[in-house]
Amino acid sequence: MATSEALLVGRERDLAVKLVGGFAALVALAMVAAVVADPVDAPVASVLTERVVPLLVFYAPAPVAALGAYARCGGPACLAVGIVPAVVFAVLVAVGTLVGVPNVGGGDALLGSLTVGFALVGVSGAFLGYCVGVAAAMAADLLGIGSDDSEA
């Protein structure tokens, strides 16, 4: 498979699924932990809500997408990484509202606009990371670093 096709479509399907699924699990775990730790006033709650969750939601999609692009996971998988925080947030709020978890859901925040905002930030970061990863993969191929000859 040609390098450009591997970078656009993806050659490593299993790795792409692990990349997106693992990132989704990490974001979900951090968000659920923040929701659970907040009402009991656990000392870790402020660290989760002020540092870990924003890091995963706003900053992590770019480097994760760059790693995915460099590993030839493909554009769709790398851009899906950007949508993951928005989907996890929407599911958490919907389930929390249905179950009746305190401080989750309610009528104060518009779920749609927040979800779209998270998605726009995540996808734009993931796109930037994807472009950086593609550039790094192409530069590595040009320099002969880490390339395998089984592509032909």
Contacting residues for 86 by C-beta, under 8 A, at least 6 apart? 115, 116, 118, 119, 122
pLDDT score at 9: 75
| Average pLDDT along the chain | 84
What are the tens digits of pLDDT across the range 15-45? 999 999 999 999 999 988 888 887 777 777 7
- Give percent above pLDDT 90 in the chain: 40
- pLDDT exceeding 70 applies to what percent of the chain? 86
Higher local confidence (pLDDT), 100 or 122: 122
Tell me what the mean pLDDT of segment 76-88 comes to.
94
Would you state the pLDDT for residue 2?
A: 62
CA 32, CA 88: separation in Å to the nearest integer? 10
Question: Cα separation of 138 and 140, whole Å?
Answer: 5
Q: How many helices (H) and strands (E) does the chain have?
A: 7, 0
How far apart CA 17 and CA 13 sit, in angstroms, is 6
- Give the DSSP letter string of 93-116: HHHHHHHT-TTSS-SSS-HHHHHH
Structure tokens, 19: 């990349």
Q: For the residues of 47-75, what is the DSSP string, one character each?
A: HIIIIIHHIIIIITHHHHHHHHHHTT--H
Q: Supply the pLDDT for residue 98.
A: 82
Rounded to the nearest angstrom, the gap between the alpha carbon of residue 107 and the centroid of all alpha carbons in its chain is 27
